[in-house]
Amino acid sequence: MKIDGELSVGVLLLGIVAGLGYMSIQLGQMELGSGSYPVYADFINAGGLQDGAVIELAGVEIGRVETVTLADYKARVTLKIRREIQLQEDALAAIKTKGLIGERYVKITPGYSATKLAAGGTIDKTEESVDIQQLLGEFIFGNVGDTTASDKTQADSADPFSLDLD
């Protein structure tokens, strides 16, 4: 009898833990508030933008990236915007980085048009992310060793304002 009691308590605890885990996963994916609507933005390079990334307007979170897919050789990003936020049709979407080497997010800059972007519409103005690793590589290795002594002499002789002080 004692083994049956311990076994039933163990099974009960295991069921409770599994139920709590399932509920936390479901609540984590649930949208809070009055819902959201999809908007699309096409980027030449999504630069490490992930599903679930934050969408900000004026530094305030207004939604999340739903998906990043490939469409017509461009990165098509599906943005889920909170329903109470209405974007103008000439808004700008830019992929930014939090910190020096932080996570990517989408920054929305409002436009000036009186026409609002409809649900399922596309943000036409986009700006790709800056690739920090590429910039550092170009800074460190890009121009090092490109100018030789003969190049410098030719450049100096071609410059009518240079003075030869030798």
Contact in structure between 27 and 17 (CB atoms under 8 Å):
no
Predicted confidence band of residue 3 (pLDDT cuts 50, 70, 90): low
Taking all residues of the chain, what is their mean pLDDT, rounded to a whole number? 79
Tokens of residue 155, six digits: 């450049």
Query: Kind and range of the H or E element at 96?
Result: strand 92-97
Mean pLDDT of 148-158: 44
Question: Per-residue pLDDT for 124 more than 60?
Answer: yes
